[in-house]
Amino acid sequence: MHNSLLYTASVLFILSVIQPSVSDDPFCGLPLPKTYVVYKLREWEGGVSVDGRIDEQAWLDVPRTDRFVDIQGEDYPRPRYETYAKLRWDDTYLYVAGYLQESDVFANQTKHDSVVFEDNDFEVFTDPDGNTHHYKEFEINAINTTWDLELSKPYLNGGNANSSWEMPTMKSATYIEGPVNNPLVPNKYWTVELALPFKDMVHDCTVATAPPKHGDQWRINFSRVEWHVKNVNGHYEKVPGLPEDNWVWSPQHSINMHLPERWGIIQFSTDPVDSTEFKPSPNWPVYSNLVELYNAEKKFFAINGYFTANLTQLELPDYVRKGKCASIPHVNVIKLYNFNATVKPFNSSLPKGNIRDDRLIWFT
Ligand SMILES: *[C@@H]1O[C@H](CO)[C@@H](O)[C@H](O)[C@H]1NC(C)=O
Ligand SMILES: *[C@@H]1O[C@H](CO)[C@@H](O)[C@H](O)[C@H]1NC(C)=O
Ligand SMILES: *[C@@H]1O[C@H](CO)[C@@H](O)[C@H](O)[C@H]1NC(C)=O
Ligand SMILES: *[C@@H]1O[C@H](CO)[C@@H](O)[C@H](O)[C@H]1NC(C)=O
Ligand SMILES: *[C@@H]1O[C@H](CO)[C@@H](O)[C@H](O)[C@H]1NC(C)=O
Ligand SMILES: *[C@@H]1O[C@H](CO)[C@@H](O)[C@H](O)[C@H]1NC(C)=O
Ligand SMILES: *[C@@H]1O[C@H](CO)[C@@H](O)[C@H](O)[C@H]1NC(C)=O
């Protein structure tokens, strides 16, 4: 064994004997959501031409995300159609390919920034800073009608959707196998191809850069809205009384996409395809304590009408209450109706994490 490895091993052993309940494991805390490594385009791959067909070399070269699942989790019925995405990047764009298996392709919305999810759609949510604020939402239907918006913060925190936010250099296209709006001819699938400009993605961000650097991680999620439709005299109509289905990459465990702390994590890589391993952020244990604390405070508030700094009053998992993954949260309650909390990492060269009652997460 190499000497320094032996040294590290023995130091770790001694540490584990001194503090058996304390862990520096980056997996300590919440289970990781879905993850995906995004590979930079190589010159010889010939680029991505945004025409809706996702058959270029650039797409063939990279793996699919896991098949989308019901938004409430993997225990809910498996979606009746397959959906997956693929991602690439260059210095200007994040490229997204979406595949939506479908027997009945329809689309009614034709105006940019209309409520695209009234139709079946494909949606991309991005939170480059991972702070849950100023995140972006993008929706597209089968006939390339798009809706791009910025959310100041999640709706549950009083956030506003701003549809005036635009991505002027965005490129989008769709391809439909078969006809659209014709119930007499069944379809097999439709595909989406997008080039989302990094400079717009990081608008209002403080940490994330455009373009990202090798190793950077962003929070992202995909979702697909699927209505039940039927043939009425040769055109599609929604089946009355049935809600839409929501199929997602990384389950939210709630019918709510606007919980950015549950989104998946993408990691940008300049390495050759398939040669980078996803590496959980060393901040994950601190992040987990913050999110658990936030959820427990919101639950306490819903019952009692105020926040508390007394952690014994909160329903917290043991690992947070006992400080197994990072320090026990320190909570400041501000005039009963607001709070902030700080969690320190065990490794003091890592940043402290903070969260507020409006869900904002930041590291200092
Ligand atoms: C909405 O976004 C536009 C474009 O970024 C911006 O000029 C405007 O101030 C925003 N409105 C609000 C209410 O934030
Ligand atoms: C799809 O929509 C985008 C953005 O509105 C537009 O630039 C593009 O030309 C459209 N593509 C097709 C094939 O219509
Ligand atoms: C599409 O629009 C037409 C005309 O408004 C309407 O009759 C039809 O029900 C819509 N189809 C779906 C599937 O929403
Ligand atoms: C995507 O968002 C949905 C809804 O918020 C959530 O259930 C799911 O876990 C998220 N998945 C990923 C990988 O982001
Ligand atoms: C914290 O809450 C517990 C349970 O309600 C209570 O027994 C305890 O006295 C409280 N501690 C402080 C310092 O208020
Ligand atoms: C939390 O709020 C208190 C009181 O307003 C303030 O003094 C403190 O700086 C805040 N801490 C953080 C981490 O924002
Ligand atoms: C502490 O964090 C620093 C910065 O990420 C890292 O270089 C170092 O290896 C970590 N130390 C331990 C014991 O994990």
| C-alpha span between 126 and 146 (Å, rounded) | 16
The answer, yes or no, to whether the previous bond of 31 is cis (omega within 30 of 0) is: no
pLDDT of residue 223: 93
pLDDT of residue 9: 40
| C-alpha span between 44 and 47 (Å, rounded) | 8
pTM flag (> 0.85):
yes
Q: Report helix, strand or coil for 18.
A: helix
DSSP assignment of 128-176: TT-SSSSEEEEEE-TT--EEEEEESS-GGGT--EETT---TT-EEEEEE
User: Using a 6 Å cutoff on CB, does residue 313 contact ligand 5?
Assistant: yes
Residue to substitute in 151, 165, 170, 205 for testing ligand 1 pocket (most ligand atoms within 8 angstroms of CB): 165
Residue 192 Cα to ligand 7 middle (Å): 41
Look-up: residue for tokens 């007394």? 310
Angle, alpha carbons 237-81-138 (nearest 5°): 75
DSSP assignment of 263-287: SEEEEEE-SPTT-------TTHHHH
Q: Domain 35-269 has what CATH class?
A: mainly beta
Residue to substitute in 221, 245, 291 for testing ligand 4 pocket (most ligand atoms within 8 angstroms of CB): 221
pLDDT of residue 15: 39
Residue 266 Cα to ligand 7 middle (Å): 22
- Amino acid in the structure at residue 112: H
151: its two tokens: 């959310």
pLDDT of residue 26: 67
pLDDT of residue 21: 46
Helix, strand, coil: what percent of the chain each, to 5?
20, 30, 55
77: its two tokens: 């019925």
User: Using a 6 Å cutoff on CB, does residue 347 contact ligand 7?
Assistant: yes
List CB contacts of 94: < 8 A, sequence separation 6 or more: 38, 87, 88, 126, 195, 196, 198, 201
Residue 139 Cα to ligand 6 middle (Å): 37
User: Using a 6 Å cutoff on CB, does residue 23 contact ligand 7?
Assistant: no
Neighbours of 344 (CB within 10 A): 18
Q: What is the pLDDT along the chain (364 residues), one digit of tens a residue?
A: 334 433 334 434 433 333 434 555 667 999 999 999 999 999 999 999 999 999 999 999 999 999 999 888 888 888 999 999 999 999 999 999 999 999 999 999 999 999 999 999 999 999 999 999 999 999 999 999 999 999 999 998 999 999 999 999 999 999 999 999 999 999 999 999 999 999 999 999 999 999 999 999 999 999 999 999 999 999 999 999 999 999 988 777 777 787 888 899 999 999 999 999 999 999 999 999 999 999 999 999 999 999 999 999 999 999 999 999 999 999 999 999 999 999 999 999 999 999 999 999 999 9
Q: What is the position in ligand 5's atom list of the atom closest to the CA of 310?
A: 1
Each as own residue / partner, the long-range contacts of residues 76-85 (CB below 8 Å, 24 or more positions apart, any chain) are 79/224, 79/226, 79/245, 79/247, 81/226, 81/247, 83/122, 83/222, 83/224, 83/247, 85/222, 85/249
pLDDT of residue 312: 97
